[in-house]
Amino acid sequence: MESSFNSDQDYDILEVPGLDSLKIAVIPSTLRRREGGEDCVRSYEWTVSMGIKLSITPIRLYGWYAESERETGTEVGNRLFTSACIKHSELVIVILNGAHLAKLENFLHGGELIHEVTITRLIKLHGLPIPVPIQTNTFGDCFISGVQQYLDYIIVKIRIETKSVACKSFNQKGILNGVDSYEVDFRRNVVKG
């Protein structure tokens, strides 16, 4: 792992073996600690869960990569110089090695459908005792395409077919200002927003 941590950065860069030039920002080892005999992250900011049948309840997420794009075309008459086809990269997540490794490997080898993978960003709002979700990324109809144990990490590659994102905004007093969301079905090339 190439570490680029210094006093001005709050992340490390993880170079994923076997994935050409893929680098993922992860929570640095200096922000991890042992609590109750279990490795954890001091800042409980990102979580991932997988269901329905796989049923991995929310666990801390060290880092992730996902990219949506529109395919580039050669039609210069189109003002965007793109085709109408939208696509998505494989979802790559970095989680702590643990007992869920066997579940993930079984789903990989069995080619089983994961109905939903949800990545949530949490923040601590003034006056509230528990963290509040401000961003929820839901990936649907997923298949695991790779599981890699990398020392204390598990790196999971997931093929997705749908994606929805909901982002909440709050004012200075912690009152909800609004929610913005969108949905994409990559099988049907349909976007709702």
The answer to whether residue 29 is domain-embedded is yes
Q: What is the pLDDT of residue 158?
A: 96
User: Rounded to two decimals, what is the model's pTM?
Assistant: 0.76
Domain count, the chain: 1
Q: What is the pLDDT of residue 41?
A: 41
Q: What is the pLDDT of residue 28?
A: 67
Which stretches of the chain score pLDDT less than 70?
A: 1-10, 17-20, 28-44, 72-84, 127, 193
Q: What angle do CA 93, 11, 148 make, to 5 degrees?
A: 30
Q: What is the pLDDT of residue 167?
A: 93
Q: What is the pLDDT of residue 151?
A: 82
Residue 86's domain comprises: 12-70+82-192
Q: What is the pLDDT of residue 39?
A: 44
Q: In sequence order, which ranges of 26-92 are alpha helices (DSSP H)?
A: none
The answer to whether residue 164 is domain-embedded is yes
Distance CA 173, CA 151 (A): 42
